[in-house]
């Protein structure tokens, strides 16, 4: 394994560990699907609190903590490439500091975005009619919006910009400023790319975590695709399926010790 691959693996391992902690936190407190709990009565029936009452009743700290756990679980696996850029372009002794600054900028933007997305979520629930069980349509509407956004050229532009890695200063305050600015800039394009997908699990009354897992897979997969021209097309899902299929094929080959395919040329052209 090359030196660069080893470094990449270390960065990826750290991020996956952080993501795992996020998932563990969410699993440990599933009904800290606080966002849902705040909108329901104890008996599971929908309540009617106004947005203000909801916010009064919902302490900000647990809301923020839940959002941070979601971020850690879902977004950290997407940060291998930009953090490798920070790793490669920083002095070794400054790497931890640069990582912290990048993540500070990145998380700050996402926390602000979280305020907006949470408001959308709370106000949607506040507007719902009372019923015995929460309705499906908010999640379906969110999924429809996410699908349109996912296929749009605007989404591709955000993804393309997520691949852009700026030059970073290496010395002194300029280095700190650049690492922070890179985190802010990367997060802005990341929010632009992912906001609609993030809303889907938030608005799901059931299967919240399962939906988060699917969305995470799509977000990781779409970042593995190279930047592309702007046009309408479905992105992310196909790559995720191809990746999973390739992994399954490799695993099967290893298990059954199948030979790798070869020699397609002679049969294709000279049969």
Binding site for another protein (CB under 8 A): 2-5, 88-93, 156-157, 160-161, 163-171, 174-175, 224, 226-231, 239, 242-247, 250, 260-266, 268-269
CB of 251 to another protein, least distance (A): 12
C-beta closer to another protein: residue 50 or 245: 245
In the 8-state DSSP scheme, what is residue 168? -
CB of 156 to another protein, least distance (A): 7
CB of 255 to another protein, least distance (A): 14
Beta bridge partners of 46: 40
Name residues whose C-beta falls within 8 Å of residue 211's C-beta, 6 or more positions apart in sequence.
139, 200, 201, 204
C-beta closer to another protein: residue 133 or 164: 164
What tokens does 89 get?
């372009």
Which among 198, 161, 146 has a CA at the least distance from the CA of 81?
A: 161
CB of 197 to another protein, least distance (A): 20
C-beta closer to another protein: residue 97 or 165: 165
C-beta closer to another protein: residue 44 or 172: 172
CB of 175 to another protein, least distance (A): 8
C-beta closer to another protein: residue 206 or 250: 250
Beta bridge partners of 40: 46
CB of 113 to another protein, least distance (A): 22
Which among 215, 219, 194, 193 has a CA at the least distance from the CA of 204?
A: 215
d(CA 199, CA 139): 8
Give the burial string for 133-148 (b: 16+ CB within 10 Å, else e).
ebeeebbeebbeebee
Give how far the C-alpha of residue 80 lies from the chain's centroid of Cα atoms, to the nearest Å: 12
Cα distances from 101 to residues 22, 64, 205, in angstroms, run 20, 20, 36
C-beta closer to another protein: residue 24 or 228: 228
């Amino acid at each position: 394994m090359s030196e660069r691959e080893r470094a990449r693996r270390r960065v990826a391992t750290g991020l996956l560990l952080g993501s795992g902690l996020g998932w563990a936190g969410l699993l440990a407190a599933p009904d800290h699907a606080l966002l849902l709990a705040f909108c329901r009565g104890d008996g599971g029936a929908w309540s009617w609190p106004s947005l203000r009452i909801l916010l009064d009743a919902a302490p900000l700290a647990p809301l923020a903590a839940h959002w941070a756990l979601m971020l850690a679980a879902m977004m950290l696996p997407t940060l291998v490439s930009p953090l490798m850029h920070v790793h490669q372009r920083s002095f070794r002794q400054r790497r931890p500091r640069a990582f912290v600054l990048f993540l500070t900028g990145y998380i700050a933007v996402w926390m602000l975005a979280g305020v907006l997305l949470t408001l959308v979520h709370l106000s949607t629930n506040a507007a719902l009619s009372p019923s015995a069980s929460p309705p499906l349509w908010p999640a379906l509407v969110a999924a429809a919006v996410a699908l349109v956004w996912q296929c749009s050229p605007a989404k591709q532009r955000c993804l393309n910009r997520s691949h852009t890695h700026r030059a970073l200063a290496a010395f002194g305050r300029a280095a700190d400023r650049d690492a922070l600015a890179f985190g802010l800039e990367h997060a802005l394009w990341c929010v632009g790319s992912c906001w609609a997908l993030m809303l889907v699990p938030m608005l799901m009354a059931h299967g919240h975590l399962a939906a988060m897992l699917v969305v995470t897979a799509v977000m990781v997969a779409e970042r593995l695709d190279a930047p592309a021209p702007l046009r309408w097309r479905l992105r992310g899902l196909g790559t995720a399926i191809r990746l999973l299929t390739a992994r399954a094929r490799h695993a099967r080959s290893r298990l059954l010790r199948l030979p790798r395919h070869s020699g397609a040329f002679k049969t294709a052209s000279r049969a």
